[in-house]
Amino acid sequence: MLGLIIPLARLGHHALHAPIARNLMDAAGHSLTLAAISGLAASLLGLTCAYALRSGHKPAIAAARLAGLGYAVPGSVAALGVLVLLGISQSGLDQAWRAMAGNPFPILLNGSVIALIFAYQSRFAAAAIGPSESALARVTPALDMAARTLGAGPGETAWRVHRPLISSGSLLAALLVFVEVLKELPATMILRPFNYDTLAVIAHNYASDERLGEAALPALLITLIALPPMIWIARRLTRQEALR
């Protein structure tokens, strides 16, 4: 009540009495696109890391653990890291392209959606690895062996045993990152392309101008979009607790 309903009511009240920001729908579209792509990519990354951790190969395990560390890094620091990394890649590509084609390589990486998605992955990989790893833990080596001795090849085993057992974990990973990206501000502010606003960015801009009324609607939209996935996640976690 104190944490959700009252603030929501207050925001709603503000939103009703303020003009609607011009680019609100564009920003909502950007937020949804970024969050959806990041969620999908994170679930794939989470799954890859979970398999790497399961493989028992030391370099693979180290890489997967390293990927999870980004969660502890503040968004602005991650953004700077991404800028440096992509800057180096861009100049490398540029040199190679000049050597081959004789003209400069188009600026694809810096200040683009690719940079944003990359930064989100590095920041939120841990949120995706956790659920994927615990889902994959249900697929014991004995289950693999059982499927193989029952006539299923590796592909069929992955489809009939792994997929059903890990799908809800992957969905959880995707939704967690979806919600995180929806709210993310610092990395987005630094890395976004020109005129590419998200709901969090315009809410922040209006709020820092003390125009709280205009800031209310984007904030409310973030909450409304994030709520259904969060309800699903909460129910799932409760069910897991009950099963335990």
Partner 1 sequence: MTVTEPKPDGRLLEVSGAEVRFALGRSAVAGAWLTLGCGQITALLGASGAGKSTLLRAIAGLELLHRGEIRFDGQVWSAPDQHTPPEKRRCGVVFQDYALFPHLNALDNVAFGLREGSRTDRRRAALSRLESVELTHRTQAYPHELSGGEQQRVALARALAIKPDVMLLDEPFSGLDRRLRRDLRGDTADVLRQSGVTTLIVTHDAEEALEIADTIALMQDGRIIQTGAPDTLYLKPSSLTAARLLGDVETFTTRVRDGQAKTALGALPATGFVSDQKVRLMVRPEGVIVDRTDTSGARARISHRQTSTGYARLTCTLENDRRIEARVALSESHKPGDAVRLRFDPAFTHLVCADAD
Q: Could you tell me which residues come within 8 angstroms of residue 27 by beta carbon, excluding any fewer than 6 positions away?
A: 21, 197, 198, 199, 201, 202, 218
What own/partner pairs with CB < 8 Å and gap ≥ 24 does 192-197 have? 192/111, 192/116, 193/111, 193/112, 193/113, 194/111, 196/30, 196/113, 197/23, 197/26, 197/27, 197/30
Residue from 10, 57, 98, 138 touching partner 1 (CB under 8 A): that is 138
Rounded to whole angstroms, how far apart are CA atoms 228 and 179?
10
Query: Can you tell me the distance from the alpha carbon of 194 to that of 154, in angstroms, rounded to the nearest whole number?
Result: 47
Nearest approach, Cβ of 129 to partner 1 (angstroms)? 22
Structure tokens at 23: 């680019």
User: Which of 40, 77, 113, 165 is close enough to bind partner 1 by CB under 8 A?
Assistant: 165
- Residues 6 or more apart from 108 whose CB is under 8 A from it? 90, 93, 114
Counting contacts by CB under 8 A, is residue 237 touching partner 1?
no
Interface with partner 1 (CB under 8 A), residue from 17, 101, 151, 210: 151
- Quick one: which segment of 36-44, 70-78, 144-152, 234-242 binds partner 1 (CB under 8 A)? 144-152
Which CB sits closer to partner 1, 3 or 151? 151
Q: Is residue 150 close enough to count as binding partner 1 by CB under 8 A?
A: yes
Residue from 142, 208, 210, 242 binding partner 1 (CB under 8 A): 142
- Binding to partner 1 (CB under 8 A) within 166-225 occurs at none
Q: Which stretch binds partner 1 (CB under 8 A): 112-120, 148-156, 180-188, 222-230?
A: 148-156
**Residues interacting with partner 1, by CB under 8 A?**
138, 140, 142-143, 145-153, 160-161, 164-165, 243
